[in-house]
Amino acid sequence: MHLHRYEKIWLTVGVLTLIAFIITLGVNAFAMGAQPPSNTQVMDPTKVSQTPPFDQPALKQIGQNNYVANMTAFVFSYAPNRMEVPVGSTVTFNVTSKDVVHGFEIPGTNVNMMVIPGLVNSTTHTFTKPGDYLILCNEYCGTGHQLMAAHLIVK
């Protein structure tokens, strides 16, 4: 088969771009640990209230500036509903749903997850600016969806 010189050049460029893309993706996923904030743990969605740590949803301090927030989402709120951390704190949110699919978004940050029954989703964020951070549900979950929120006070 005869290939025109320009075809060969563009085929080479295309294949090299693909290889570069796959390498970038692989390094990000496997060496740097970039993963979607989902499926970190599976659980029985009907037994959330009996399964630790979600039987007692709470914010816990685990280090000088490190916190873990084990939270549940349900129609139409979150538990805990109000949390306080000092400025500069790094908070890992572990969230699961007790009923339907919810959202978990903190506007102005990169925190944005789906909360899916049967899965625990996790993400970590460092809060360097003081403020009243609103945690919002951004997946339509029923008639009270627009009221579903929680507060994280950083001071």
Residues forming the active site: 74, 76
Decide: 78 and 150 in contact? Cβ < 8 Å.
yes
C-beta of 138: minimal distance to ligand CUA in Å? 7
Question: How far, CA to CA in Å, does 4 sit from each of 7, 18, 140?
Answer: 5, 21, 54
User: What is the CA 71 to chain-centroid distance, rounded?
Assistant: 12
Q: H helices within 28-141, ranges in order?
A: none
C-beta of 113: minimal distance to ligand CUA in Å? 12
Q: Which residues bind ligand CUA (CB under 6 A)?
A: 102-103, 137, 139-141, 145, 148
Q: Which one, 85 or 111, has the nearer CB to ligand CUA?
A: 111
Q: Which one, 85 or 136, has the nearer CB to ligand CUA?
A: 136
Q: Which one, 43 or 75, has the nearer CB to ligand CUA?
A: 75
Helix (H, G, I), strand (E, B) or coil at 115: strand
